[in-house]
Amino acid sequence: MENKGLSRRSFLKLVAGSTAAAFVASAEPLAALAQDVTYNEAPMLAELVAAGELPPVAERLPKNPRVIKPYKEIGEYGGTWHRAFKGISDRWGPTKCQEEMAIEWFAPDETTVELVPGFVAEWTQNDDATEFTFTLRDGLKWSDGAPFTTENVAFWYEWNYLGELENKHSFLTPDGVDMVLEVIDELSWKVSFHKPNPLLPISMAKSTGGPPGGPSMAVPSHYLKQFIPDHPDGNQDMIDAAIEANGVQVWQDLFGTAGDMQGPIAFWFKNPELPVINAWKAVNFPTDDPFVMERNPYYHAVDTEGNQLPYIDKMEHALFDDNTVLDLWIAQGRIDMQNRHVSSANFTFYKENEEAGDYQVVLWKNAATYAYHPNINHEKYGPLFDTPAFREALSIAINREEINDLIYDGLQEPRQASPVSGSPNFDPEFETRWTEYDPDKANELLDGIGLTERDGEGFRMWNGETISFNIMHRFPTGDPQADEAQLVENYWRAIGLKVGQDLVERSLYEERCENGDVEVGVWGVDRSSIVMADPGRYLGWVDDGPWAPLYGHWGDPSSVLKKVEPPDDHPIKEIWRLWSEVQAEPDEATRNALFQKIMDIHKEHPWQIGSVGEAPAIFIVSNRFGNMMPNFIVDDTLRGQGLIMPCQCYIKQA
Amino acid sequence: MIQFIIRRTMMAAATIALISVVSFIIIQLPPGDFLTSYVATLSQQGDTIPEEAVTALREAYGLGEPIYIQYYKWISGVVQGDFGQSLEWGVPVNTLIWDRLRMTLAVSASSILFVWTVAIPIGVFSATNQYSLADYFFTFLGFLGLAIPNFLLALILMWIGFSWFDQDVGGLYSPEYQNAPWSMAKFIDLLSHLWIPMVVAGTSGTAGLIRTMRANMLDEINQPYVETARAKGLSELRLIWKYPVRVALNPFISTVGYALPELIGGVTIVAVVLNLPTIGPLLLRALLSQDMYLAGIILMLLSILTVLGTFISDILLAIFDPRIRLE
Amino acid sequence: MDNTAKSLENGNALPPDLAGVNDEIPYEELSIATPGQLMWWKFRKHRIAMISVVVLAIMYFMAFFAGFFTPYDPNEFDASYKYVPPMHITFTDENGDFTWRPGVRGLIEERDPETLRRSYNEDPDTWYPINFFVKGYEYKLLWLFKTDIHLFGLGEEAGEQPYFLLGSDRLGRDMFSRIVQGGQISLSIGLVSVFLSLLLGIVLGGVSGYYGGWVDNLIQRTIEFIRSIPTLPLWMALSAALPPDWPQTQRYFGITIILSMIGWTSLGRQVRGRFLALRNEDFVLSARLTGARDMRVIIRHMVPSFTSHIIASLTLSIPGIILAETSLSFLGLGLRQPVISWGVLLQEAQNVRTVALAPWLMIPGLAVVMAVLAFNFLGDGLRDAADPFNR
Per-residue confidence (pLDDT) for residue B120, from 0 to 100:
84
Neighbours of chain B (3+ CB pairs under 8 A): A, C
Residue B178 lies in a domain: yes
Which carries the bigger pLDDT value, residue C389 or residue A416? A416
How is domain A99-277 classified at the CATH fold level?
Dipeptide-binding Protein; domain 1 (3.90.76)
Tell me the per-residue pLDDT of C282-299, one tens digit each, with 9 for 90 and over. Answer: 777 787 788 777 777 777
Of C228, C232, C362, the CB nearest to B268: C232
CB contact under 8 A, C352 and A351: no
Nearest CA in chain B to A255: B90
What is the percent of chain C with per-residue pLDDT over 90, rounded to a whole number? 15
A-C C-beta contacts closer than 8 Å: 78
Q: Which residue has the higher pLDDT, A120 or C217?
A: A120
User: Is B173 within a domain?
Assistant: yes
pLDDT at A392: 96
The answer to whether A527 touches A537, Cβ cutoff 8 Å, is yes
Confidence of residue C20 (pLDDT cuts 50, 70, 90): very low
**Interface contact flag, B283 C233, Cβ < 8 Å:** yes
What is the DSSP secondary structure assignment for residue A4, as one 8-state letter? Answer: G
pLDDT above 70 (res C389): no
Question: Domains in chain C, please, with CATH?
Answer: 80-172 (no CATH), 177-386 (1.10.3720.10)
Examine residue B188 and state whether it is found in any structural domain, yes or no: yes
Does residue A6 register a pLDDT over 80?
no
Tell me chain C's radius of gyration from C-alpha atoms: 26
| Among chain B residues, CA nearest to C330 | B151
Q: What confidence tier does B251 reach under pLDDT thresholds 50, 70, 90?
A: low
At residue A76, does pLDDT exceed 80?
Answer: yes
pLDDT over 50 at A501, yes or no:
yes
Cβ separation of A327 and C115 shorter than 8 Å? no
Distance from the A542 Cα atom to the nearest Cα atom in chain B, whole angstroms: 9
Instruction: Judge: B149–C326 Cβ closer than 8 Å, yes or no.
Output: yes
Name the nearest CA neighbour of A539 among A592, A585, A601.
Answer: A601
Residue extent(s) of CATH 3.10.105.10 domains in chain A: 369-613
Beta strands in A93-143 (DSSP E): 103-106, 114-117, 120-125, 131-136
CA A38 to chain centre: 37
Q: What is the pLDDT of residue C281?
A: 76
Query: For A333-347, A546-560, B28-42, B58-72, which range has the lowest pLDDT when averaged over its residues?
Result: B28-42
Mean pLDDT, residues B207-219 taken together: 78
Residues in chain C with CB shorter than 8 Å from the CB of A324 are 350-352
Average pLDDT, chain C: 81
With cut-offs at 50, 70 and 90, classify the pLDDT of residue B164. Answer: confident
Q: Is residue B171 part of a domain?
A: yes
Number of domains in chain B: 1
Per-residue pLDDT at B45 exceeds 50: no
Share of chain B above pLDDT 70, in %: 81
Mean pLDDT of B256-267: 72
Reported as a pLDDT band with limits 50, 70 and 90, residue B62 is: low
Distance of CA A641 to the CA centre of its chain: 10
pLDDT digits (tens, 9 = 90+) for C222-240: 888 887 788 888 888 888 8
| pLDDT(B190) > 90 | no
Q: How high is the pLDDT of residue B90? A: 66
The answer to whether C356 faces chain A, any CB pair under 8 Å, is yes
At residue C71, what are phi and psi to the nearest 5 degrees? -70, -30
Distance CA A263, CA A218 (A): 16
Most confident of A151-165, A294-308, B205-219: A294-308
CATH superfamily membership of A1-98+284-367+614-654: Periplasmic binding protein-like II (3.40.190.10)
Residue B15 lies in a domain: no
> Mean pLDDT, to the nearest integer, of C311-320?
82
pLDDT band at A61 (very low <50, low <70, confident <90, very high): very high
> Are residues C171 and A406, on separate chains, in Cβ contact within 8 Å?
yes
8 Å CB contact of A328 and B175:
no
For residues B32 and A334, which has the higher predicted lDDT (pLDDT)? Answer: A334
**Which residues 6+ apart lie within 8 Å of A72 measured at CB?**
A626, A627, A629
Q: What is the pTM of this model?
A: 0.84
The predicted structure's pLDDT at residue C17 = 47
* pLDDT grade for C135, boundaries at 50, 70 and 90: confident
How sure is the predictor about A568, in pLDDT bands with cuts at 50, 70 and 90? very high
Residues 300-319, chain B: which have Cβ within 8 Å of C? 302-303, 306-307, 310
Domain A369-613: top CATH class: alpha beta
**Sign of the dihedral through C-alpha A161, A165, A166, A172:** negative
CB contact (8 A) between residue B290 and residue A560: no
**Is residue B223 a part of any domain in this protein?**
yes
Query: Treating both helix axes as pointing N-terminal to C-terminal, what angle do C47-64 and C363-386 enclose, rounded to 10 degrees?
Result: 130
Q: B218 to chain C: which residues are within 8 Å by CB?
A: 391
What is the SS3 assignment for A307-356? EECCCCCEEEEEECCCHHHHHHHHHCCCCCEECCCCCHHHHHHHHHCHHH
- The percent helix, strand, coil of chain A (3-state, each to 5) is 30, 20, 50
For the ranges A537-551, A578-592, B40-54, the lowest mean pLDDT is seen at B40-54
Kindly identify which residue of chain C lies nearest to residue B20, measuring between CA atoms. C229
Residues of chain A with CATH 3.90.76.10: 99-277
Judged by CB atoms closer than 8 Å, whether chains meet at C351 and A406 is answered as no
Give tens-digit pLDDT for A389-443: 999 999 999 999 999 988 888 889 999 999 998 788 899 999 999 999 999 999 9
- For residue B245, the domain's CATH number is 1.10.3720.10
DSSP category for residue C92: E
pLDDT of amino acid C23:
56
Q: What is the DSSP string of B202-244?
A: HHHHHHHHHHHHHHHHHHHHTSHHHHHHHHTT--HHHHHHHTH
For residue A216, give the DSSP letter. T
Domain-embedded: residue B94: no
Q: What is the pLDDT of residue B31?
A: 59
pLDDT for the residue numbered A358 = 94
CA-wise closest residue to B271 among B202, B197, B195:
B197
C9, C186, C232, best to mutate vs chain B, most B CBs in 10 Å: C232
Cβ of B299 within 8 Å of Cβ of C234? The answer is: yes
What is the distance between the alpha carbons of residues A297 and A313, in angstroms, rounded to a whole number?
10
Q: Is B148 on the interface with C (CB under 8 A)?
A: yes
Closest by Cβ to C350, choosing from A324, A486, A504? A324
* C229/B19 CB distance under 8 A: yes
> Would you state the pLDDT for residue A598?
95
State the average pLDDT for chain A.
Answer: 88
Rounded to an integer, the average pLDDT of C49-66 is 92
Would you call A505 and B290 a contact, using CB atoms and an 8 Å cutoff?
Answer: yes
Position B270 pLDDT exceeds 60: yes
Residue A237, CA distances (Å) to A32, A226, A272 in order: 48, 10, 20
As a whole number of angstroms, the distance between CA A91 and CA A111 comes to 29
Quick: pLDDT tens for C179-208.
999 999 899 988 898 888 888 888 888 788
- Cβ-based neighbours of A466, under 8 Å, separated by 6 or more: A455, A457, A459, A460, A498
Angle value at C-alpha A206, between A200 and A212, nearest 5 degrees:
115
Q: Which residue has the higher pLDDT, A28 or A253?
A: A253
Gap between the terminal Cα atoms of chain B: 11
Which among C113, C348, C352 has CB closest to A324? C352
Q: What is the pLDDT of residue A560?
A: 74
Whether the Cβ atoms of residue B209 and residue B252 lie closer than 8 Å to each other:
yes
CB A578 within 8 A of CB A407: no
Lowest mean pLDDT among A311-315, A381-385, A647-651, C32-36: C32-36
- Between A88 and A184, the higher pLDDT residue: A184
Which pLDDT score is estimated for A183? 96
Domain of residue B137 covers 104-289
Any domain includes B319: no
pLDDT at B28: 76
Residue A389 CA, distance from chain mean position: 34
Tens-place pLDDT, residues A116-174: 999 999 999 999 999 999 999 999 999 999 999 999 999 999 998 888 887 788 889 88
Lowest average pLDDT, out of A136-140, A177-181, A492-496, C240-244, goes to C240-244
pLDDT of residue A559: 74
Give the per-residue pLDDT at B39. 63
Encode pLDDT of B285-326 as tens digits.
888 777 777 888 888 888 888 888 878 877 877 777 666 565
